[in-house]
Amino acid sequence: MDAKLALCQAAMMLALAGACGAAETTAPLSAAARYDVFRNGWRVAVVSETFEAKDGAYRIVSESRAVGLLALVEKHTLRFVSSGVLTPSGLRPQHFEGKRSDADSRQVRADFDWQTGQLTIVHDGRTETFALPVATQDRISSMYQFMFLSREGLQRLEFPMTNGRKLDHYVYTVQPGGDLDTRLGRMATLHLVKQHRADENVAEIWLAPQYRFLPVKLLIQEEDGTRYEQVITSLELRER
């Protein structure tokens, strides 16, 4: 079920790094967002996220809680944490972890050693080490890296990202997303579409320029046609 609730953390497949060009901007002091998650139109989970920036560092906590019938199966909250430093080009993760409890056999972890250029991931009782590409994000920090990207003339994004189980390279095309109706009102969006093989899931994301280009809607469609959507219900920003 984690694979399904991973949509609740759509950062699983949606990470943006400075490879596409970063704008020098400052992060807000904090952000708090909530999303509803739907499976084929049925509400199955709620995601709550907080972002905090202080003294040149950041910390993001993302928690997914099942609702309805799914809550009878998944009783524990799925919690992801990303922490690292703030740079002129955005977020530089140092540590990432995801788990339901300390005893969760499915928990994942990633440690970024930028000095030695190594990424260490721990999952399923195994530890693996990879070369660490420039501007790599984790599946949570990626959502907030949008705030630092230069959007002028942006048509294509390429970036590395880890979800604690593997390190992948992603390619997205960028296009106007049109207006989107949300609980926050009607808003203009920027639409990202993941380039994928025939045997891969469809993935799309909508960003809101008026909210620092943070995600307001995410979509995953699996090979069998099952659709998972994550839609914003509240968003608060505390600026400097």
Tens of pLDDT, residues 75-98: 889 999 999 999 988 999 999 999
Question: Any idea what the CATH number is for the domain that residue 185 is in?
Answer: 2.50.20
Asked if residue 143 is part of any domain, the answer here is: yes
**Predicted confidence band at 25 (pLDDT cuts at 50, 70, 90)?**
low
Domain count, the chain: 1
Tens of pLDDT, residues 57-68: 999 999 999 999
Asked if residue 64 is part of any domain, the answer here is: yes
| Token reading at 40 | 């084929």
Q: Give the range of the structural domain holding residue 177, as residue numbers without chain letter.
A: 2-233
Would you state the torsion angle of the CA atoms of residues 117, 118, 119, 123, taken in this order, to the nearest 10 degrees? 180
- Inter-CA distances, 31 with 49, 147, 219, 240, Å: 8, 12, 22, 12
Identify the H or E element spanning 145: helix 141-145
> What pTM does this model have?
0.86
